[in-house]
Copies of this chain bind each other. A is one copy, B any other.
Amino acid sequence: MAGEIVISEKPGDTLKKWRTIFKLSQKNLASLLNVKPSVVCDFEKGRRASPGIGTVRKFVEAMVEYDKAQGGKIVSSMFAKDNNNAVYDIREFNTGTAISKLIKDIDGEILSGNEDILERPIYGYTIVDSLKAITTFNVFGDLYGWSNERAIFFSGVHYGRSPMIAIRAHPVKPRVVIYIKPKTIDKLATKLAEMERIVLVKTELNEEEIVTILKKFN
C-alpha cells in the first residue's frame, strides 16, 4: 500500500484507489486525518505532487485504523493470516548485524561455514517450522523478508536434510541457516551448506528464547 503509493507515477490516483477500497469519502477521510476535505482532494488530484512520507503514512494508518474500528474486514481480507502458517516469526533489522554476533548471542555452534563470511552483515531473520512448512506447502511463500541478507531458523529439524534441499532448490539463498534443536545432523546437510556457501549453525535454545534475544537487535 505505502510502497505502491510512493512508486506510482500518479500517487494521487493510488491514494484515491485505496480510499475507495476502504469505502471512505474525502470528507470522511479528511475528518479522520483532522484536515479539510480540500486537502484530500489536492493530493488525489496531484496538486501536491510529492507528499512527504509522513503524509502518506498518516493516510495509510488512518484508513487501516478506520477499517479496524469497523471490524477489520477489508484489511483482514487482504492480509489474512494463516494460523497454521509455518513461519513462526519474521523480522527486519535496520542495522546490519554480523553473522558472528548473532551466532554468539543465540549460543550457536557452527557446523559449516567459512571464516571469512562470518563478519558479513545480515538484515533480518525468519523462523520456520519445518514440519508445517512441508505439510502446508508454504516453504517458499513467506520465507523471505525484504532482504535475503538474513538468517533462517528451522525448528522441528530431524536430520537437517530437507531444509537444505529446499534451500538448494530455491533461487534465493539466505546467508545463515540455523537449526533449532536438531536430533542429528545429516552429512548431506553440511555438504549442501558448503556448496551453497551458507553458514550452517545449530542451537539448543527454543524459539521463544531466540525471539527474545533477537528482539534486542536493531
- Number of copies of this protein chain within its complex: 2
Interface residues of A, dominant DSSP:
mixed
The contact of A8 among B7, B11, B94, by CB within 8 Å, is B94
The contact of A96 among B17, B51, B78, by CB within 8 Å, is B17
Bound CA–CA A144/B133 (angstroms): 12
Which chain B residue has the least Cβ–Cβ distance from A11? B53
- Asked if A54 lies at the interface with its beta carbon under 8 angstroms from chain B, I say yes
**A1: which B residues are within 8 A, CB to CB?**
3, 138, 141-142, 146
**A16: which B residues are within 8 A, CB to CB?**
94
Which residues from chain A sit less than 8 Å from chain B, CB to CB? 1-8, 10-11, 13-14, 16-17, 20-21, 49-57, 60, 77-85, 87, 92-96, 121, 123, 132, 135-149, 162, 165-166, 168-173, 192
